[in-house]
């Protein structure tokens, strides 16, 4: 379960990273990096899901 969630959120993170790099959107780029690294640091599915959802919402909630 944790491996599958890590794969899903890591894939979403790579999409955020590519979008942030192409559009020069720094917060999306940093959220993408965080989404790719976060599954390596957290092992529980609940915290992985909550943290990843927070990183996914960050570029939409915070506007720079």
Look up the domain containing 39 and give its range. 2-55
Angstrom distances, CA of residue 27 to CA of 23, 24, 43: 11, 9, 25
Q: Report the C-alpha gap between 48 and 16 in whole angstroms.
A: 17
Q: Are 31 and 55 in contact (CB under 8 A)?
A: yes
**Looking at residue 64, what is its pLDDT?**
65
The residue ranges of the chain whose pLDDT is under 50 are none
Per the domain annotation, does 61 fall within a domain? no
pLDDT at position 1: 85
Number of domains in the chain: 1
Is this prediction's pTM over 0.85?
yes
> Has residue 63 been placed in a domain?
no
């Amino acid at each position: 379960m944790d491996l599958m969630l890590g794969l899903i959120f890591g894939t979403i993170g790579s999409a955020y990273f590519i979008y942030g790099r192409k559009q020069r959107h720094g917060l999306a780029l940093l959220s993408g990096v965080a989404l790719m690294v976060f599954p390596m640091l957290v092992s529980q599915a609940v915290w992985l899901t909550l943290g990843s959802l927070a990183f996914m919402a960050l570029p939409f909630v915070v506007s720079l």
